[in-house]
Amino acid sequence: MRFNTLVQSPTTSIDGFIEIWLIDAANSDRYDIISPFGGSYDGNPTFFVGSSIDGRYTPTSFQYQNNTWYHLKLQGIPGQNIRASICDDSGRELIGSTLNHSATAYRSGFRLGLSQVLGFAQGVYPVAVAVDYARLTASTVKKEEVRPMVVQPLVINTPPPAPPAPFVNLQHSSDTLLKEGVPKAIW
Protein backbone atom coordinates (compact mmCIF):
# COMPACT_ATOMS: atom_id res chain seq x y z
CA MET A 1 0.00 0.00 0.00
CA ARG A 2 1.33 3.44 -0.86
CA PHE A 3 0.28 6.08 1.67
CA ASN A 4 1.14 9.59 2.81
CA THR A 5 1.35 10.38 6.53
CA LEU A 6 -0.02 13.91 6.03
CA VAL A 7 0.19 15.75 9.38
CA GLN A 8 0.51 13.63 12.53
CA SER A 9 0.08 15.32 15.90
CA PRO A 10 -1.04 14.76 19.52
CA THR A 11 -4.66 15.17 18.31
CA THR A 12 -4.42 13.50 14.89
CA SER A 13 -3.84 9.81 14.10
CA ILE A 14 -2.92 8.83 17.64
CA ASP A 15 -3.30 5.09 17.00
CA GLY A 16 -2.95 2.76 14.01
CA PHE A 17 -3.67 5.34 11.34
CA ILE A 18 -3.34 2.78 8.54
CA GLU A 19 -3.22 -1.00 8.90
CA ILE A 20 -2.98 -4.07 6.67
CA TRP A 21 -4.30 -7.41 7.92
CA LEU A 22 -3.97 -10.93 6.57
CA ILE A 23 -6.89 -12.85 8.08
CA ASP A 24 -7.23 -16.63 7.80
CA ALA A 25 -10.22 -17.37 5.53
CA ALA A 26 -11.38 -20.24 7.78
CA ASN A 27 -10.63 -18.73 11.22
CA SER A 28 -10.62 -14.97 11.85
CA ASP A 29 -8.73 -15.52 15.13
CA ARG A 30 -5.64 -16.27 12.99
CA TYR A 31 -4.11 -13.13 11.48
CA ASP A 32 -1.07 -10.98 10.83
CA ILE A 33 -1.17 -7.17 11.13
CA ILE A 34 1.23 -4.36 10.23
CA SER A 35 0.83 -0.66 11.01
CA PRO A 36 2.63 2.61 11.58
CA PHE A 37 1.27 3.59 14.99
CA GLY A 38 1.11 7.00 16.66
CA GLY A 39 1.43 5.78 20.27
CA SER A 40 1.12 8.07 23.30
CA TYR A 41 -0.74 10.74 21.34
CA ASP A 42 1.91 10.64 18.60
CA GLY A 43 4.65 11.12 21.19
CA ASN A 44 5.99 7.61 20.53
CA PRO A 45 5.64 6.78 16.81
CA THR A 46 6.20 3.10 16.16
CA PHE A 47 6.16 0.35 13.56
CA PHE A 48 3.75 -2.28 14.85
CA VAL A 49 3.77 -5.91 13.71
CA GLY A 50 1.50 -8.50 15.24
CA SER A 51 0.65 -12.13 14.61
CA SER A 52 -1.87 -14.28 16.42
CA ILE A 53 -0.29 -17.24 14.60
CA ASP A 54 3.11 -16.54 16.19
CA GLY A 55 1.66 -15.09 19.41
CA ARG A 56 3.93 -12.07 18.90
CA TYR A 57 3.05 -8.36 18.96
CA THR A 58 6.02 -6.05 18.51
CA PRO A 59 6.04 -2.25 18.54
CA THR A 60 9.41 -0.86 17.40
CA SER A 61 10.27 2.83 17.49
CA PHE A 62 10.04 4.33 14.01
CA GLN A 63 10.14 8.08 13.43
CA TYR A 64 7.92 8.46 10.37
CA GLN A 65 7.84 11.98 8.98
CA ASN A 66 4.86 14.25 8.24
CA ASN A 67 3.67 14.62 4.65
CA THR A 68 5.83 11.75 3.38
CA TRP A 69 5.01 8.89 1.00
CA TYR A 70 5.71 5.38 2.29
CA HIS A 71 4.93 1.82 1.23
CA LEU A 72 3.46 -0.59 3.79
CA LYS A 73 4.16 -4.23 2.81
CA LEU A 74 3.31 -7.73 3.93
CA GLN A 75 5.28 -10.05 1.66
CA GLY A 76 5.20 -13.84 1.51
CA ILE A 77 7.83 -15.09 -0.93
CA PRO A 78 7.42 -18.84 -1.61
CA GLY A 79 9.67 -20.86 0.70
CA GLN A 80 10.32 -17.90 3.04
CA ASN A 81 8.64 -16.49 6.12
CA ILE A 82 6.31 -13.50 5.76
CA ARG A 83 8.10 -10.14 5.92
CA ALA A 84 6.40 -6.98 7.20
CA SER A 85 8.02 -3.67 6.29
CA ILE A 86 7.75 0.05 5.70
CA CYS A 87 9.66 1.28 2.66
CA ASP A 88 10.42 4.74 1.36
CA ASP A 89 8.81 5.86 -1.89
CA SER A 90 11.65 4.40 -3.95
CA GLY A 91 11.06 0.94 -2.39
CA ARG A 92 14.04 0.90 0.00
CA GLU A 93 13.11 -0.82 3.27
CA LEU A 94 13.32 1.56 6.24
CA ILE A 95 12.17 -0.89 8.92
CA GLY A 96 10.97 -4.46 8.84
CA SER A 97 10.28 -7.63 10.76
CA THR A 98 10.13 -11.26 9.65
CA LEU A 99 7.33 -13.37 11.09
CA ASN A 100 7.88 -16.94 12.28
CA HIS A 101 5.72 -18.51 9.57
CA SER A 102 5.30 -18.53 5.82
CA ALA A 103 2.18 -18.01 3.71
CA THR A 104 1.51 -21.76 4.02
CA ALA A 105 0.10 -20.95 7.50
CA TYR A 106 -2.99 -19.82 5.56
CA ARG A 107 -3.92 -23.25 4.17
CA SER A 108 -7.56 -22.18 3.61
CA GLY A 109 -6.49 -18.91 1.98
CA PHE A 110 -6.72 -15.46 3.51
CA ARG A 111 -8.72 -12.27 3.45
CA LEU A 112 -7.05 -8.91 3.15
CA GLY A 113 -8.12 -6.25 5.64
CA LEU A 114 -7.42 -2.52 5.59
CA SER A 115 -8.31 -0.52 8.68
CA GLN A 116 -7.71 2.55 10.83
CA VAL A 117 -7.98 3.19 14.56
CA LEU A 118 -9.74 6.44 15.41
CA GLY A 119 -8.93 7.11 19.06
CA PHE A 120 -10.34 5.89 22.35
CA ALA A 121 -13.53 5.90 24.42
CA GLN A 122 -12.97 9.35 25.99
CA GLY A 123 -12.88 11.09 22.60
CA VAL A 124 -12.48 10.65 18.90
CA TYR A 125 -9.22 11.69 17.32
CA PRO A 126 -9.38 12.03 13.53
CA VAL A 127 -7.11 10.08 11.24
CA ALA A 128 -5.08 12.03 8.68
CA VAL A 129 -3.62 9.74 6.04
CA ALA A 130 -3.85 9.60 2.26
CA VAL A 131 -3.89 6.22 0.52
CA ASP A 132 -2.67 6.34 -3.06
CA TYR A 133 -3.29 2.66 -3.77
CA ALA A 134 -3.36 -0.80 -2.26
CA ARG A 135 -2.31 -3.73 -4.41
CA LEU A 136 -2.40 -7.49 -3.96
CA THR A 137 -0.11 -9.55 -6.16
CA ALA A 138 0.58 -13.26 -6.19
CA SER A 139 3.07 -15.41 -8.06
CA THR A 140 4.17 -19.00 -8.29
CA VAL A 141 7.68 -20.35 -8.63
CA LYS A 142 8.23 -22.93 -11.36
CA LYS A 143 11.63 -23.88 -12.74
CA GLU A 144 13.22 -20.83 -11.07
CA GLU A 145 10.88 -18.51 -12.94
CA VAL A 146 8.47 -16.15 -11.22
CA ARG A 147 5.22 -15.85 -13.15
CA PRO A 148 2.50 -13.37 -12.08
CA MET A 149 -0.89 -14.98 -11.46
CA VAL A 150 -3.06 -12.13 -10.21
CA VAL A 151 -2.62 -8.38 -10.11
CA GLN A 152 -5.68 -6.80 -8.55
CA PRO A 153 -5.74 -3.08 -7.71
CA LEU A 154 -7.84 -2.31 -4.67
CA VAL A 155 -9.92 0.85 -4.52
CA ILE A 156 -10.83 2.14 -1.08
CA ASN A 157 -14.13 4.01 -1.07
CA THR A 158 -14.59 6.48 1.76
CA PRO A 159 -18.22 7.24 2.61
CA PRO A 160 -19.28 10.86 2.09
CA PRO A 161 -19.30 13.05 5.19
CA ALA A 162 -22.57 13.33 7.12
CA PRO A 163 -24.64 16.40 6.26
CA PRO A 164 -24.31 19.25 8.74
CA ALA A 165 -26.84 19.50 11.55
CA PRO A 166 -29.55 22.14 11.03
CA PHE A 167 -28.74 25.58 12.43
CA VAL A 168 -30.92 26.69 15.32
CA ASN A 169 -30.46 30.09 16.98
CA LEU A 170 -32.38 30.52 20.22
CA GLN A 171 -32.74 34.02 21.65
CA HIS A 172 -34.68 35.32 24.58
CA SER A 173 -36.49 38.64 24.06
CA SER A 174 -38.80 39.88 26.83
CA ASP A 175 -41.26 37.05 27.49
CA THR A 176 -41.03 35.63 23.96
CA LEU A 177 -38.65 32.87 22.81
CA LEU A 178 -37.58 33.45 19.20
CA LYS A 179 -36.37 30.46 17.20
CA GLU A 180 -34.60 31.52 14.03
CA GLY A 181 -34.21 28.97 11.28
CA VAL A 182 -36.91 26.62 12.65
CA PRO A 183 -40.39 26.58 11.09
CA LYS A 184 -43.18 27.51 13.54
CA ALA A 185 -44.84 24.13 12.91
CA ILE A 186 -41.89 22.41 14.65
CA TRP A 187 -42.04 24.50 17.84
All domains of the chain in start order, with CATH = 2-154 (2.60.120)
**How many CB atoms lie under 10 A from the CB of residue 84?**
25
3-state secondary structure of 81: strand
Residues 50-78 have pLDDT tens digits of 999 999 999 999 998 889 999 999 999 88
Average pLDDT of the segment spanning 2-25: 85
93 and 110 Cβ atoms separated by less than 8 Å:
no
Instruction: Quote the pTM value.
Output: 0.70
